[in-house]
Structure 1
């Protein structure tokens, strides 16, 4: 069944984090599943990300004409990014042992790319679409900036990674409209249940 790549699925704040979040309920062995189990979804995700991540990509569109061919590279970058970033949120530091995995996966994603990258155009400025695996590598590497690292969070509702870009750095949920409201509803239900039990 095709995934509906809606705005909520791009709540991570960066292409690389949106990609790590394609594993739903990561860490919950009984309920977790991978939206990229069908590699065709990689191409559909890249197409949707071209719109939802237009600011990050500086208007470049993403291309994944043969998702089956790049699935290994995409999954390798996704898993290395998740491992490094998730541990950094939990431990408060980057684990040096996880760095080679990310750097090697990103190098594979960029291999063969003819893009010219700069601070002003981190995803290049060529008019043609950018290979998804190359964009994913650039986005993953951009997460290593001190400012971004200090703003990485794990949503307590869905376990997704996201960048807290709020002014005071106090954002709790990846998406207030979805995860925040679900937690509010749970708390309300729990209070009502307690009130009934105490009555």
Structure 2
């Protein structure tokens, strides 16, 4: 496997959002990368979430899901992405919420806690339920640089990027380059 899960890949602030963000360049068909296309990367994600995930204390140790649950898990990922993206854009639709709830139910029916921890699919379903029930849906945002979903946990709700060290710096560097190229002083 050539891909390594880093802290940046867990910038969503909620496991369900980090899972949704596992599709890089989601809306660019030519450059789109599904990090879960490789089963080994999906398993490694569960292990990395134990180190970097924002909800690691909530769920305890995450473990790999059963291989037969992978397709249902991908359905949950896609339903979560559609629903939360629409919610952020103030385009929430009852059918997208229903799809997400059905995907959560499908995962919950097939997943069971193991002696070593909670499977990734079940934890993701719980995370999505927590986001649905959140009293502050306005904290859900989309990064203007990479289009990832994230939950703004900042005190004043002013977070702009999924990760300031990556997307924030890239945006600021582009702006600085453009100003210097055009001769505009800040």
* TM-score (normalizing by structure 1): 0.85
CA contact (8 A) 1:12 1:174 kept: yes
- Alpha carbons of structure 1 residues 176 and 54: separation in structure 2 relative to 1, 3 Å: closer
Structure 2 residue runs without a partner (length 5+): none
Q: Who is 1:89 aligned against?
A: 88
Q: How many residues align?
A: 184
Secondary structure of 2:88's counterpart equals helix
**1:65-119 alpha-carbon deviations (Å, 9 max, x no partner):** 54x42220211110000000001111x253101122111111111114456xxxx
Q: Who is 2:152 aligned against?
A: 164
CA contact (8 A) 1:148 1:163 kept: no
- The within-5 A match list for 1:45-60 is 45-53=45-53, 55-58=55-58, 60=60
- Alpha carbons of structure 1 residues 49 and 103: separation in structure 2 relative to 1, 3 Å: same
CA contact (8 A) 1:20 1:82 kept: yes
Q: Distance in 2 between matches of 1:132 and 1:83?
A: 20
Q: Who is 1:120 aligned against?
A: none
- Alpha carbons of structure 1 residues 141 and 155: separation in structure 2 relative to 1, 3 Å: same
- Alpha carbons of structure 1 residues 139 and 59: separation in structure 2 relative to 1, 3 Å: closer
Q: Distance in 2 between matches of 1:83 and 1:57?
A: 27
Rg larger in structure: 1
- Alpha carbons of structure 1 residues 44 and 37: separation in structure 2 relative to 1, 3 Å: same
Structure 1 residue runs without a partner (length 5+): 116-125
- Alpha carbons of structure 1 residues 30 and 149: separation in structure 2 relative to 1, 3 Å: same
RMSD of aligned alpha carbons: 2.0
* TM-score (normalizing by structure 2): 0.90
**1:165-184 alpha-carbon deviations (Å, 9 max, x no partner):** 11111110000000000001
Q: Who is 1:123 aligned against?
A: none
CA contact (8 A) 1:60 1:127 kept: no
CA contact (8 A) 2:112 2:118 kept: no
